[in-house]
Amino acid sequence: MAFVMFVAGLVALILGGEFLVRGASAVARQFGLSPLVIGLTIVGFGTSAPELMVSLQSTLAGQPDLALGNALGSNIANILLILGITACIAPIAMPFAGLRRDLGFMVLAAAAIWVMLLGGTVSHIEGWLLVLGLATFLTVTLKSGQSVAEETQAKPLPVWLAWAMTLAGLVVLVVGTKLLITGASQIARSLGVSEAVIGLTIVAVGTSLPELATSVVAALRKQTDIAVGNVVGSNIFNIFGILGITAVIAPIPAAPRFATIDMPWVAGATLAVVVASAWRGQISRWMGAGLLAAYVVYVLLLL
């Protein structure tokens, strides 16, 4: 039964990713927003919905290790696994001039949560500070998000159909993720794996599958702006939004391992993207392979 749920969830994620990329691209053109901005907001935050659900439910159920492991593990997987796989399919253009502000917010989010984790708890007040960071990011991004006359599609989708496909994609992604996580978690617990490791690996990868499906589809459709925006936006939302909202509802106790073991990986992965953008302006196929290799090392160290 668990295996059936896993496969059904995987199929749903692939279909949801296709709907979301096509719908969001059409919405971007209709509202004069660049694909990067739509990836940073609608796609990036939409594909993070599973992480929000898992973190909220875990914290309220008295499982803070699962909530933190889910958010931090997802950020690691988003960069090392998802950008790694996506770059292996097609090199990802990341011009530093166009991404400087967004990469800065991603670095700021990682630094802020690291300081909070060193304190042992993400408190109510710290949660509000994180939410304020999210509101600032959204305001700045949307204000500067109007693109100059972009090329239009030969046969643009009707407005209602573009929105319907975007919303349908999000719904299918959330449902697919729920099925996949439930099946995978049942298998993991039967093997006696700890809560923190489940959160950092199986649940984190499971909730990151919408980002993976969306980014891979975007790469195959030669829409790497959406792939980049999806990952960067998702990483910002995972910290500012998910951990912020969760901490506002209930403080999150943080085990020492998150600040000393996992945050260095979050910081390292984040800085790797910044360096790749500033140095080469892209993530090439060989860089993608390097990111994938780093993720394999990280998972092996956890086991």
pLDDT digits (tens, 9 = 90+) for 199-220: 677 777 776 777 777 788 777 8
User: What's the pLDDT band for 145 if we cut at 50, 70, 90?
Assistant: low
**CA-closest candidate to residue 15, choices 125, 161, 237, 173:** 173
pLDDT at 260: 94
Who wins on pLDDT, 289 or 25?
A: 289
Query: Where does residue 280 rank: exposed (0-12), middle (13-18), buried (19+ CB within 10 A)?
Result: middle
User: What's the pLDDT band for 155 if we cut at 50, 70, 90?
Assistant: low
* Dihedral angle sign, alpha carbons of residues 128, 130, 135, 140: positive
Mean pLDDT of the chain: 82
Among 25-29, 226-230, 283-287, which range has the highest average pLDDT? 283-287
263-279: average pLDDT: 95
Tokens 């697919």 — which residue? 176
Out of 86-95, 174-183, 293-302, pick the least confident. 174-183
pLDDT at 33: 72
Task: Report the share of the chain in percent with pLDDT over 90.
Answer: 35
pTM flag (> 0.75): yes
pLDDT at 202: 74
Domains and CATH numbers, the chain: 2-144+159-302 (1.20.1420.30)
Task: Please state, in angstroms and rounded to a whole number, the distance separating the CA atoms of residues 240 and 124.
Answer: 13
Cβ atoms of 91 and 283 closer than 8 Å: yes
Task: Please state, in angstroms and rounded to a whole number, the distance separating the CA atoms of residues 74 and 153.
Answer: 34
pLDDT at 121: 93
**CA-closest candidate to residue 19, choices 192, 178, 172:** 172
